[in-house]
């Protein structure tokens, strides 16, 4: 069982489902001759490990990604993969995300069988002046093989919201359903990704909103290519725009 991860998540002023940007290590080039300008070049691409596990961000230390936001907001989100470690629960990918608000460090766990654990705080409704943190267990996405066989991921967790009129802890029930492999075209290119639907029952709700839904496309072995989150009729889209790791 994934243990709860209790940490503050500063979310952009809109509806959010965690979004990434990454940075990649540059090769050590020889120093330029005296009085000569330093040569500039793009950092080299780093290949993502060839596996079928579900990741939210590529398991490549130093990788950088940029996502373009659309729908109810515009702008970009950047993610840097700080470290990748293997433990008893599986592979932990720790990242720093930076959107319009303060940077936040987050963890995503890919289990030995290829399933993915995502902090519920990533699926919170947010607006200016609000912060959301997960206080319950992670949302667990079953491995592709289980999803393809019709298995659903279900569970209950909770989030704590701090902001005008919304303070308090809220219980959340979720259902994750696989929708099969789909061809997805985003600014960074075209990929075959596994489509996953997420339905959230927000219980007593946030400011009268009791339900939310999302659909996100994860390329096995790589991570998030595209996502759409809808809350109270408002939709936020996120598309991969740049990546130091080949899509």
Q: For residue 230, what pLDDT is reported?
A: 82
- Residues comprising the chain, all counted: 247
Give 97-120 pLDDT, tens digit per residue.
887 767 878 899 999 999 999 887
> Given CA atoms 23, 140, 12, 164 in this order, what sign does their dihedral have?
negative
CA 15 to CA 150: how far, in whole Å?
29
Q: What's the pTM? A: 0.74
Mean pLDDT computed over 175-185: 96
Give 112-157 pLDDT, tens digit per residue.
999 999 887 665 444 444 456 666 788 899 999 999 999 999 998 8
Give 28-79 pLDDT, tens digit per residue.
344 444 444 333 333 333 445 557 899 999 999 999 999 998 887 788 889 9
Interior angle at CA 191, CA 213 and CA 25, nearest 5: 100
Average pLDDT, the chain: 75
DSSP state of 245: S
Nearest to 223 by CA among 243, 207, 199: 243
Q: Contact, 60 vs 46, CB < 8 A?
A: yes
Mean pLDDT computed over 10-23: 31
Beta-bridge mates of residue 44? none
Tell me, letter by letter, the H, E, C secondary structure of 133-173: EECCCCEEECCHHHHHCCCCEEEEEEEEEECCCCCEEEEEE
Phi, psi of 126 (to 5 degrees): -135, 155
Which residue matches tokens 């433990």? 87
Distances (CA, A) of 71 to 76, 102, 158, 235, 236: 12, 22, 27, 6, 5
Q: For residue 39, what pLDDT is reported?
A: 36
Three-class SS state of 145: helix
């Amino acid at each position: 069982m994934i243990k709860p991860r209790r940490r503050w998540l500063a979310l952009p002023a809109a509806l959010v489902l965690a979004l990434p940007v990454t940075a990649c290590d540059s090769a050590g080039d020889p120093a330029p001759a005296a009085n000569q300008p330093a040569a500039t070049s793009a950092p080299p691409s780093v290949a993502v490990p060839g596996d079928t596990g579900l990741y939210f961000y590529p398991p490549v230390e130093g990788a950088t990604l940029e996502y373009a936001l659309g729908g109810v907001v515009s702008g970009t989100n950047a993610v840097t993969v700080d470290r990748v470690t293997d433990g008893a629960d599986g592979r932990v990918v720790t990242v720093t995300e930076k959107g319009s608000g303060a940077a936040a460090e987050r963890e995503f766990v890919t289990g030995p069988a290829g399933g993915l654990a995502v902090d519920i705080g990533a699926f919170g409704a947010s607006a200016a002046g609000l912060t959301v943190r997960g206080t319950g267990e992670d949302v667990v996405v079953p491995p592709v093989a289980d999803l393809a066989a019709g298995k659903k991921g279900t569970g209950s967790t909770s989030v704590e919201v701090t902001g005008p009129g919304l303070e308090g802890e809220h219980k959340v029930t979720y259902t994750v359903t696989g929708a099969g492999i789909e061809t997805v075209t985003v600014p960074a290119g075209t990929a075959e990704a596994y489509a996953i639907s997420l339905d959230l029952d927000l219980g007593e709700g946030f400011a009268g909103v009791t339900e939310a839904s999302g659909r996100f496309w994860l390329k096995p072995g790589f991570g998030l290519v595209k996502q759409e989150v809808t809350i109270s009729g408002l939709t936020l889209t996120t598309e991969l725009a740049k990546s130091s790791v080949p899509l």
